[in-house]
Structure 1
Amino acid sequence: MFDPPGPRARRRTRVVTAVSLVVVGALVALAVRQFADNGQLNPDRWRPYLTWPMWRYLLIGLRATVLAAVATGVLAMAGGLLLAVTRSRIARAYVEVMRTVPVLLIIYVMLFVLPSYGLDLPLFWKLVVPLALSHAALYAGIFRAGVAAVDRGQREAGLSLGMTERQALRAVVLPQAVRNMAPSLVSQTVGLLKDTALGYVVSYTELLHSGRVLANYNHLLIQTYIVIAVVYLAVNLALSQLSRYLEVSLARTAR
């Protein structure tokens, strides 16, 4: 519950927004001027990224990023759902611990500790498994919030029809919960996609690692990373738009 902003608060918000836009615009203009003064805007330094071989190499890295994100998302959602419906202390402790432990630390354990005990996974799984272990805790919170948002009468209606607790949860509550929390799941997937950039730690050739190799080859560091940033921005904006579309569609359906 919150009170809508009054005229003074709206005016203050508009002023802060305008000042922020001016500051950001000034910083961007300064950065562009610095790039120009140092010859970074020279067309010859950008021309290689108008060729197909460059984009083919980057698209191979993007495909590896998407594959890692999809595999991580499937495992993390499955694990998060299991943690959400499990009411044991172990599940709650797992969620709390994984929310506080950095993903990079889990990757280091997978990379340096487990091989000494005979568990040496391929590079792909050295990235996917730690990300899935970490994001499962985050998805568990989303699933729990989604289940809690479903009206209790739905569960009770299922029980009144002779369903068991698990049957009512699986057939009645979860379908409604998943539909309501779809935007949150997509938003969490955006963060998951960005975390795949940690693949450089295990030498997995995802998009950022491919860009690093390419920059070392053609010595176009700034241009390469700007192009990669634009690719990440385009993918994440597409996912964000999907999240907003789902949110609006679900709100319209609910009305």
Structure 2
Amino acid sequence: MSSVLYDLPGPRGRRRNAVIGVLATLAIAGLIAFVIYRFWKTGQFEARRWEQFKFKAVQMEIVNGIVATLQAAGIAAVLALLFGAVFASGRLSDRALLRAPSTWVVELFRAIPLLILIFFGYYVPLQYGWSIDKMWALVIGLTLYNGSVLAEIFRAGINAVAKGQSEAAYAIGMRKNQVMRLILLPQAFRAMLPAIVSQLVVLLKDTALGFIITYPELLTAGKTIGGRLAFGLPYVPAYLVIGAIYIAMCGALSAFAWWLQRRLTRVPKATVAAKPVPLQDVTRQV
């Protein structure tokens, strides 16, 4: 059996794929074991390097870093979604007066590296004597970059809906905003959800760039914890803990998105079952 794009392997091909899979697994396991060995060899697992994590003050540093990270990520996510929705609507407009500026803005901020946007958000106001909070400088950069990417995701998702859907809606007299709100968006949202969540995960991880402007997010807390000479400069233990926390937060966001997608695509069950008709009643009607 074969498909258009892929021929199913035969017995020799399956054996070859199995051997490649085993070798790849062994190579990855060997690499992980080597990294752990090097950590152990250089004393990264010494009790002294991990001792400070049992102190409440250090735990509160990590908690405060998590709160600062989630605060910046939450505000930037909401603003980026609004930015993306507005400029995606502009790019889909029939009027060139709206479509051209929206296209220019989206392409501009997609092309500028996020770090430069954060620098502009923080240092440019300072050049004119304006005081700006570090969190808002980070949020501005995250909003402009990720909002531009989300605008393209929204536009592509709406354009991916079959044209027959909108043509049928126009045929029954619906206006364009009704077609967009009632017909296209509900269908496109299900298709766009994985890409939207993926970009929000990127946004959450990009909050670590706030370290450059000394915003007290999670990575900044990890650098502070790892730079203490009394505990042997435990940078590796600190960054292992911080990395595990980032993985947990991104995993929780992905799990929520998976649950939401399953809920949105669930087919509703019929609440009232059809009652069986006795055979004698059918024969009477005939």
Normalising TM by the smaller chain, what interval? 0.7 to 0.9
**C-alpha distance 79-14 of structure 1, shift in aligned 2 (>3 A):** farther
Quote the residue 2:27 is aligned against. 23
* Equivalent pairs, count: 254
Quote the residue 2:36 is aligned against. 32
Matched letter for residue 51 of structure 2: R
User: What is the aligned counterpart of 1:234 among 235, 240, 248?
Assistant: 248
Report SS of the residue matched to 2:6. coil
Residue 86 (1) aligns with residue 100 (2)? no
Q: Give the structure with higher Rg (CA).
A: 2
Matched letter for residue 169 of structure 1: M
**C-alpha distance 250-149 of structure 1, shift in aligned 2 (>3 A):** farther
What is the Cα-based RMSD across aligned positions, in Å?
A: 2.5
Q: Tell me how far apart the structure 1 counterparts of residues 165 and 42 of structure 2 sit (CA, whole Å).
A: 65
Deviations 1:138-192 (A, max 9, x none): 1011111221222333333443444321232123322332233222211111111
Q: Tell me how far apart the structure 2 counterparts of residues 174 and 118 of structure 1 sit (CA, whole Å).
A: 44
**C-alpha distance 136-16 of structure 1, shift in aligned 2 (>3 A):** farther
Q: Tell me how far apart the structure 2 counterparts of residues 193 and 210 of structure 1 sit (CA, whole Å).
A: 16
TM-score, scaled relative to structure 2: 0.79
Quote the residue 2:208 is aligned against. 197
Higher relative contact order (CA 8 A, sep 6+): 1
Quote the residue 1:3 is aligned against. 5
Quote the residue 1:131 is aligned against. 142
- Displacement after TM superposition at 1:51 (Å): 4.2
TM-score, scaled relative to structure 1: 0.88
Quote the residue 2:115 is aligned against. 104
Quote the residue 2:234 is aligned against. 220
Identical positions, percent: 35
- Displacement after TM superposition at 1:229 (Å): 0.6
**C-alpha distance 228-3 of structure 1, shift in aligned 2 (>3 A):** same
Q: Tell me how far apart the structure 1 counterparts of residues 115 and 203 of structure 2 sit (CA, whole Å).
A: 13
